[in-house]
Amino acid sequence: MALFPRSAVPALRFWGLRGARAWTRWPRIPGGGWSISCFAGASSDTGGGDHSQKKFLLQDIAELIKTRACQKVVVMVGAGISTPSGIPDFRSPGVGYYSILQQYKLPYPEAIFELSFFFHDPKPFFTFAKKLYPGNYRPNATHYFLRLLHEKGLLLRLYTQNIDGLERASGIPDSKLVEAHGSLASATCTVCRRPYPGEDFWADVMADRVPRCPVCSGVTKPDIVFFGEPLPARFLLHLADFPMADLLLILGTSLEVEPFASLSDAVRSSVPRLLINRDLVGSLARNPRGRDVAQLGDVVHGVKRLVELLGWTDDIQDLIQRETGKGQHYTVQPVSQEDCSRLQPGVALPQVDLTGALTASSRETSLPLAVPCLRASAPRVGPFISTGKSPQPLAIIGYFLTSLD
């Protein structure tokens, strides 16, 4: 399964999947500090929902969590949960990584994460990577809220598009994490595929050397997902989480990159979905279900509101104080655009080397960066397995998108 943007989605229509309209683009709706609750009975891509006319509210989501009516919570997160820690996202005009990348004279910003450009000239990527050297950023209140979900026995799995390691740094264990876009904790030779230790990779990068394999001298690449590369095995192995989920939380993501984006449709139609995000996105915008709730605006403020409704304010403050030792208050204010424009990207966090198909071996290594949540300029081919001359759709994705009700 490869990473691809929603602009490539029309190529998937031949699947003939029920609810194919889920693959089309949708308009972005500006977000404010307000909440949208959808009427029950709205259609969905995986079922029709119930047909009562009761609004589902943020308070209802909180009540389900408080009463433990939902004990298998799946969470999807993106760049928006890391920006309050000071890490620019990719798309914000003037302050995102797209703007920062303009200085490298690329044909287009996304090229720095394109394999073809990397093989042609890897230096811009490693120059950029040097600016992301570990050590500058720490988890914020949203990360600790997710940690609290785990500590209370409610977190089934956390799926993250981010590669900044802040989820792990907040104390969420490997077994609860799926790093959908890979990790910078290690690197691999692009020629002989020999693993290359993350510490050696960063020693080369900081010395302005292109990291090369000691065996074949091939260029080594960090184990993050570039466009056109397969996603980590854990992404597929944990797709079974979505049929089991009894609550889906979607935090700080534009739901623009496939196949991650379509996971939001993979829970049963009866399962509540809560979006805490700057904008209304994904199927919650174009085809909402009856138990959808959207808390729009700043992500940290939205999480604060949910924490208050849950009665977890003291719990999260105690957790943050225990972890940081500084008594940090959980209502961390997001950095301003002016502050973001002055930031030098970088993250120093524990990461994991995903070397096994079923388990992740725990290894503490410092590394950086955030969200490879990119939109490609060039055409992309979607989640296909190439078998001979014609690509075939990955059957497991089709199964989960068509069989849930």
Q: What is the pLDDT of residue 112?
A: 84
| Strand 73-77 relative to strand 177-179, pairing | unpaired
Residues 40-74 have pLDDT tens digits of 333 333 344 444 457 889 999 999 999 999 999 99
Beta strands in 161-216 (DSSP E): 177-179, 182-189, 195-197
Q: Which residues pair with residue 1 across a beta bridge?
A: none
Q: What is the pLDDT of residue 108?
A: 82
- Domain around 313: 4-403
* C-beta of residue 224 within 8 angstroms of C-beta of residue 181: yes
SS3 category, 94: coil
Residues 363-387 have pLDDT tens digits of 332 223 333 333 333 333 333 222 2
Q: What is the pLDDT of residue 124?
A: 86
Q: What is the pLDDT of residue 165?
A: 82
User: Interhelix angle for 123-130 vs 198-206, to 10°?
Assistant: 90
Structural domains counted in the chain: 1
Count other C-beta atoms under 10 Å from residue 267's C-beta: 24
* C-beta of residue 180 within 8 angstroms of C-beta of residue 230: no
Q: Is 181 a catalytic residue?
A: yes
* C-beta of residue 93 within 8 angstroms of C-beta of residue 168: no
Count other C-beta atoms under 10 Å from residue 111's C-beta: 21
Query: What token pair was written down for 109?
Result: 């910003």
Residues in the chain where the model's pLDDT stays below 50: 8-52, 327-405
Residues 168-201 have pLDDT tens digits of 889 999 999 999 998 777 899 999 999 998 889 9
Q: What is the pLDDT of residue 132?
A: 64
SS3 category, 344: coil
CATH no. for residue 11?
A: 3.40.50.1220
Calpha distance 164→343 (Å, rounded): 15
User: 340-363 burial, b for 16+ CB within 10 Å, e for fewer?
Assistant: beebebbbbbbbbbbeeeeebeeb
* C-beta of residue 329 within 8 angstroms of C-beta of residue 317: yes
Question: What's the burial of 44, exposed, middle or buried (CB within 10 Å: 0-12/13-18/19+)?
Answer: buried
Calpha distance 63→383 (Å, rounded): 37
Q: What is the pLDDT of residue 148?
A: 98
Q: Which one is catalytic: 181, 238, 301, 329?
A: 181
